[in-house]
Amino acid sequence: MSGDSQNAASLVPVPNHEFCGGRLAVDFCNTLSLLRPAPRDDRLRDLASFVAWAKRAGWEIAGADAGDLTGFRSLRERLRNLFTAAIDGSPMAAADIDALDGAMTDALSALRLIPGTDRPLSWRDAARPVDRLRHAIARDAVDLLTAAEPARLKRCPGEDCSWLFYDSSKNGTRRWCAMEDCGTRDKVRRFREKQAAPTK
């Protein structure tokens, strides 16, 4: 990685609560907010930013190239469309479903059986490191849309936010992407409005 690329990546601000989605596929979608689509806010804006985000997420993706970045950007758009449709209760586009189906097929085809440690056999993803991340995102997205509780997939109502999250709270009452972030700003806003309101 060149020095210029490293410096460019370091200029991208990292949110305090970058991984608040509760699921890998959701955090992946949150690498770009629909309300702030400026390049400087895109965690996948270039290869260096992508590699840095993956590392913060716990994935080393040695060997990733520009073609991989293009594929991840496309997958992000498809997943965002699917998750948004699920949240809004609107029909999902066939092209988005097909894209996730293809990603899941790739993920399954890369699995190989190997001798296990605590069990006779276990699965291993035989793909490149960057593809393992893509496969993990696809598997998580499929699980989220086929097995999880649909009502727990939510969109943060915070101003200038729109980040997605999976509400794993006991009663399903989580409202914000992060209470310490959007939740606190909302409390401050309501307090100021109350203070500014004319007294009777």
Tokens representing residue 145 in the block: 């849309």
Tens of pLDDT, residues 48-107: 999 999 999 999 999 999 999 999 999 999 999 999 999 999 999 999 999 999 999 999
Closest to 144 (Cα-Cα) out of 94, 90, 100, 197: 100
The correct answer on CATH 1.10.630.10 for the domain covering 17-196 is no
Q: CB neighbours of 171 closer than 8 A, spacing ≥ 6?
A: none
pTM of this prediction exceeds 0.85: no
Domain ranges (residues) in the chain: 17-196
Closest to 129 (Cα-Cα) out of 181, 58, 56: 58
Tens of pLDDT, residues 124-158: 999 999 999 999 999 999 999 999 999 999 999 87
On the question of pLDDT at 188 being above 70, the answer is no
Share of the chain above pLDDT 90, in %: 64
Q: Tell me the mean pLDDT in the region 171-176.
A: 84
* 174, 20 Cβ separation under 8 angstroms: no
